[in-house]
Chains A and B, each alone.
Chain A
């Protein structure tokens, strides 16, 4: 492993183009993560079409670095503006934004910088150790039924991410699954829900949807607040947390690292679930749980450690099984497809350089966050002084070009704006844009794997029970759904006024 890591580092350090791409990914991820309204997904979506002209090692490495720095960068907007760069930064808002309102933005961002880097480094080391072993195991244990079961397991918890109620969460996921069926069906090649237009035969691409759900809807929401005069500009402050404060949070950091890595392995959930789990566990183990949600430092530390710890882990299902753990890893899957490559266990044998350059780049990207994050914090806090109304048209232009450049189709731009408007109303009514995106991403793979599974198992649904890994994952998925339904039922039975 050490030899492979050193080889990957050498390949990275001795190739000026690779270094340039690394630096661009690092700064680009941080910048796009930090600018309100755009995020690492916007950057990924904008540059995805151009990766066709790059060599696959550099393209995957670029996206992995963007992933690491972007997950961290998203924390800055979550803390400063209550706009997480991505769903995985959502729990950071709970305590980060109140800290900003209390004039402790620097302290919150400082904690996010340090803990993102710590979580990411630990995850990168674990990823280097664990991925080849999991890949080896996956060759023998994972066929289409297991992959379908894994997706089912992932869907089991996706309903609880971002929605106001359990039912709204599930309806969001179902809507995403339904959108995934638009286009040619994976079994017989028949057009579905295409309304007679060939533009929809290729299906609804998730990138315009993501741009619409997150960038456009955020601009609409903020614009509405500007028009209504309810948008408040937060205060800027640069005080960092002390070493004593960090030491007091050591258990939170270690616990969140473990949770983050475990959750990151789950496809379709990854860093988002990691951040929520990290936050929830920080509350559960705290001696003063009542302080959470009101500006508690541990409330920033826990999700930021966990979501960055999930970045390395999310690469495991992507590389070892070809399953994306989220939107950005789904884009990486797209890069593999653009270059005619298929991620999976064999990639560790056929494309060893690609894997280890990526691992090394992720490790050093996390290391760089320590230094650059500190410098960025000193500068980015001043963004609080730039009126959002100046940034909004630029964000829309960037999103428009990003959606159009994907396939040179205006229909993608239409989809993006309509998704943005739809997401604006969905947010008002408590539905989850993240749930729809997860449903869309997992639905495409899920249906394809289900068809293959049925063909392999001769249309016997109970045959899943004869495959231990598939049975275990399906049972765990069902258990998750039952547990959340029971929780919902208990709250439902609570006396009025909850």
Chain B
């Protein structure tokens, strides 16, 4: 069994490993563009390699101070008031919680993104909004439909009718036609035609 201190040490080492792996992968990729330049002595890879070196130094110092502090039985010092996240939380970050619904919150946008170029924005979006509301534990049918219709109509009005944004219409045959039909219908409807 690993005690709390051991877990924290493991977390510090894993964090260090992540940064070192990132730096190593980055360094390996710099060889793709490590060509000499006539107009610049340090070449295209000089600046990225310097930053990667900084990452290695920063991550190593972070791990060293963290482990040293852990050995002394205290936590890494926080940056006082500056310790707040951009969201203003002074307290320690919330722990990760895993649940099927939380998994849904992360996966739904990704499914939406995979479908967007295939089934198009206009067909996929209402289902995405509906599914996201459901994951957020909205269960009343009137609310599910009301919020979905309101959000969808507002987006159509603002971005399709007013700003003429060319949103994805899909590349699967039937969906392509349906999406285009919706675009034309929205522009005609709000134009009063």
Which A positions have Cβ atoms within 8 angstroms of B?
Answer: 50, 78, 82-84, 86-87, 89-94, 97, 160-171, 174-175, 177-178, 181, 185, 187-188, 190-193, 214, 216, 218, 220-221, 223-224, 226-228, 276, 279-280, 283, 293, 389-390, 392-394, 396-398, 400-401, 404-405, 408, 410, 413-414, 417, 420-421, 427-430, 432-434, 443, 447, 450-451, 454-455, 459, 488, 491-492, 494-498
**Closest chain A residue to B30, Cβ basis:** A192
10 further contact pairs, Cβ within 8 A, besides A91-B81, A177-B54, A389-B138: A91-B88, A97-B88, A190-B33, A224-B105, A280-B81, A421-B106, A427-B85, A429-B15, A447-B47, A492-B65
Asked if A392 and B75 sit within 8 Å, CB to CB, the answer is: no
How far apart are the CA atoms of A288 and B14 in the complex, in Å?
Answer: 42
Least distance between A461 CB and chain B CB atoms (Å): 11
Residues of B within 8 A of A397 (CB): 125, 129, 151, 155
Q: Does B33 contact A191, Cβ atoms closer than 8 Å?
A: yes
The docked-state distance in angstroms from the alpha carbon of A280 to that of B167 is 46
Q: Is B117 an interface residue (CB 8 A)?
A: yes
CA gap between A215 and B130 in the complex, in Å: 19
Establish whether residues A405 and B51, one from each chain, have CB atoms under 8 Å apart when the complex forms. Answer: no
Chain B residues lying within 8 Å of A433, measured Cβ to Cβ, are 85-86
Partner of A188, one of B37, B59, B95: B37
| 23 A-B contacts (beta carbon < 8 Å) | A97-B88, A160-B79, A160-B82, A162-B85, A163-B83, A169-B79, A170-B58, A190-B33, A192-B45, A193-B29, A220-B105, A227-B99, A227-B105, A389-B138, A393-B132, A396-B132, A420-B109, A434-B86, A447-B47, A492-B65, A492-B77, A496-B72, A498-B77
Closest to B59 in A: A171
Evaluate contact between B147 and A390: CB separation under 8 angstroms. Answer: yes
**Distance of A432 Cα from B83 Cα, bound (Å):** 10
Interface residues of B in 94-117 (CB under 8 A from A): 94-97, 99, 101-102, 105-106, 109-110, 112-113, 116-117
- Let me know if A178 and B128 touch, CB within 8 A: no
Q: Taking beta carbons and an 8 Å cutoff, which residues of B are in contact with A?
A: 15, 19, 26, 29-30, 32-33, 35, 37, 39-45, 47-48, 51-52, 54-55, 58-59, 61-62, 65, 69, 72-79, 81-90, 92-97, 99, 101-102, 105-106, 109-110, 112-113, 116-117, 125, 128-129, 132-133, 135-138, 143, 147-148, 150-151, 154-155, 159, 163, 165-168
Whole-angstrom CA separation of A420 from B109 in the bound complex: 11
Residues of A within 8 A of B77 (CB): 165, 488, 491-492, 494, 498
Q: Is the CB of B61 within 8 A of A413?
A: no
CB contacts (< 8 Å) of B147 on chain A: these are: 390, 393-394
| Candidate in B96, B113, B136 with the most chain A CB atoms within 10 angstroms | B136
With beta carbons under 8 angstroms apart, the residue of A188, A396, A495 that contacts B109 is A396
* Closest B residue by C-beta to A283: B81
Closest 10 A/B residue pairs (Cβ): A93-B88, A167-B62, A491-B77, A187-B40, A496-B74, A389-B136, A185-B44, A188-B37, A393-B129, A190-B44
The residue of chain B having its C-beta at the shortest distance from the C-beta of A398 within the complex is B155
